[in-house]
Amino acid sequence: MNSFKFPFFCSVFILSSCVSNTVNVKPNTEEYSQLVDTPVYIKRSSDKDINTFESELDECIKTSNTRVNRSSKVGIGLGSYLALGGLYTIATASGVFAPIYVSAGTVGGVLGGSTIFVTRATKEFREYSSLENCLERQGYDVVFYDDGKAKKDKSDL
């Protein structure tokens, strides 16, 4: 019986940390304003005027874009380095250790390609996550609502 307590405790801890700001009901347009062409809805603090809101929003968007661009460049650069290094190792493999070099080069190529793929696939998430963190530090409530996804979920029922 004691063997079940530890995994249960760990799973409860992990599941409780999986909180999402995604909502299934469209936020009220009187309380929340939507960023154009994004699923991001922001509730403006009542103690801040519209000029402060717009300047803080612009600052957070600029900061978020800078961070995303920097991390994308690092991820794609690292992936390219690994992929090209792996391909070069495969191309120049010869002698007794050629099978080992080819295996290592294949791993490097796959790892590099995967790094590039993951970096591109997570770009939008990183952008919204960085924007959300910045705005919440400024005192705003941020939620995500995607009209297209909500309509698809309703049609699945």
pLDDT by residue (tens digit) across 97-132? Answer: 899 989 999 999 999 999 999 998 888 888 888 888
What's the pLDDT at 8?
A: 55
Please compute the mean of the pLDDT values over residues 83-94 and round it to a whole number: 90
Q: Which string of DSSP letters, residue by residue, matches 15-84?
A: HHT----B-SSPPPTTTEEEPTTSSEEEEPPTTS-HHHHHHHHHHHHHHHHHHHHHHHHHHHHHHHHHHH
What pLDDT sits at residue 83? Answer: 92
Q: Please, what's the largest Cα pairwise distance for the chain?
A: 73
Amino acid at 25: V
pLDDT per position as a tens digit, 2-52: 555 555 555 544 544 444 555 667 777 778 888 878 888 888 777 778 888
Sequence-distant (≥ 6) Cβ neighbours of residue 93 within 8 angstroms: 101, 102, 105
